[in-house]
Amino acid sequence: MSPAMVGAAAEASDDESQFQKGVKHLCEKAISRVPGKYILPVHERPGRAAIGNDAARVDEGRKLMSLPMVDFAELRSSSDRPRALKSLAEACEQYGFFQVVNHGIPEEVIGGMIDASTRFFGQPYEERARYMSSDMTSPVRYGTSFNQSKDKVFCWRDFLKITCEPMPQVLPHWPSSPPDMRNVVALYAKETKCLFLKIMEAILESLGLPLPATGRGSVCEDGGIMTQFEEGSQLMVSNFYPPCPEPELTLGMPPHSDYGFLTLLLQDRVPGLQILHGDNWVTVKPILGSFVVNVGDHLEIFSNGRYKSVLHRVLVNSTESRISVATLHSLPKECTVSPAPELVDEANPRRYMDTDFASFLAYISSCEPKKKNFLESRKLLS
Ligand code: OGA
Ligand code: NI
């Protein structure tokens, strides 16, 4: 190898290790261009239509769209509940997403979580890096992109993933800095778990399933499904998207669906989340203090395809950083998810194979899936 080649190779691997340190670390060195590592192929860039090459559709997506609203004040009122359940069902069928208001989680808990995440990401790289791990089963993982050991093109995001259960076992592994982080996360995890359970109750009712539903066939044998959810898995993901000098070349998160039953997403005031609605990417209008809730793969399977786990992605922008906190809820990790027997009959044959957490982990660890879409691999009928 010529000396020049040696130099080039050393530079390339040096760059690669810089990218592994995350996009916030990269931005601390005042960059004016997006490095090649983050540049998507032309047809995957945010300025392209989801289907075809229609500029009008792209412009349409730039407008902010309000998601269907689910109002807990209505769900709590016996006279309004039937109507609220109907709009919940329609949102899950037509959008796979809805916005929850009057949810009862105190403003301080919500503001506290965004604030603690902001302060976590604001710490020096060395402090954040203590939680970097390539072990998918680790209870705390700090990292970057989507799957930083597999992604060819990186996305413009750093994350902190925290496993929330069983709390007594996992809490000692959580970040100890900022000093109030563990308390804030524990409180936020409890409150969002409670809200998840209330939303799941409404969802089961909206699907016409008996409450408490039995575990027959569809979930672990012991106890009803609500009991299983109480003991279920909960993963918290704080996302940090720094400002990006050329936001049209990259994404904060590539198109993906979420694996669990429901994801509760808290976003700050900066727009970025886009969902695939019809054939278009539409940008969700942030409503401070409310939650964006989406149907995950497990709920699509459980509802035998009635409720949709919809692809979504994140745009970045050139002026402001953005923070979001997602909590992903499902059954206990050892449980199998199947279509609810009540929702399978001759007119609605079973559409999905059984699935479990282990097969999901095997899927995401094995490849760089094009659309990060695990659900496709579980479909029996198309
Ligand atoms: C996620 C996700 C969207 C956002 O964490 O799975 O889709 O707006 N986040 O950060
Ligand atoms: Ni998501």
DSSP 145-188: TTTTTT-SSPPS-EEEEEE-SSHHHHGGGS---STTHHHHHHHH
Alpha carbons 253 and 381: distance in angstroms, whole number: 28
**Whose C-alpha lies nearest to ligand 1, atom 3?**
273
- The average confidence (pLDDT) of the chain is 89
Nearest ligand, CA of residue 267? 1
Alpha carbon distances (Å) from 345 to 115, 252, 340, 342:
48, 41, 10, 8
Asked which of 72-86, 140-154, 287-301 is least confident by mean pLDDT, the reply is 140-154
pLDDT at site 137: 85
Give 8's contacts (C-beta < 8 A, 6+ positions apart).
none
Contact between residue 313 and residue 255 where contact means Cβ atoms under 8 Å apart: yes
Q: Phi and psi at residue 190, in whole multiples of 5°?
A: -65, -45
Q: For 31-45, 93-107, 357-371, which range has the lowest pLDDT when averaged over its residues?
A: 357-371
Q: Which atom of ligand 1 is nearest to the CA of 328?
A: 6
Q: What is the mean pLDDT of residues 92-117?
A: 98
Residue nearest ligand 1's atom 5 by CA: 326
Q: What is the pLDDT of residue 139?
A: 95
Alpha carbon distance 7, 360 (integer Å): 41
Query: pTM, whole model, 2 decimals?
Result: 0.91
- pLDDT greater than 70 at residue 40: yes
pLDDT tens digit string along 289-307?
A: 999 999 999 999 999 999 9
CA dihedral 107, 110, 111, 115 (to 10 degrees): 160
DSSP of 195-254, one letter per residue?
HHHHHHHHHHHHTT--SSPP-TTTS-SSS-HHHHHHT--EEEEEEEE---S-GGG--SEE
SS3 57: helix
Q: Which two tokens stand for residue 49?
A: 């239509």
Lining residues, ligand 1, CB within 6 Å? 237, 239, 253, 258, 265, 267, 272-273, 312, 314, 324, 326
pLDDT higher than 90, residue 348? yes
- Residue with the nearest Cα to atom 9 of ligand 1? 326
What was the pLDDT predicted at 50? 73
Q: C-alpha 357: how far from its chain's center?
A: 16
CA-nearest of 377, 267, 322, 335 to 23 is: 322
**Using CA atoms, how far apart are residues 150 and 368, in angstroms rounded to an integer?**
6
Instruction: State both tokens at 178.
Output: 């900022």
Integer Cα distance of 197 and 193 in angstroms: 6
Strands 280-284 and 64-65, sheet pairing: parallel
- For residue 326, report the distance from its CA to the centre of ligand 1, in Å: 6
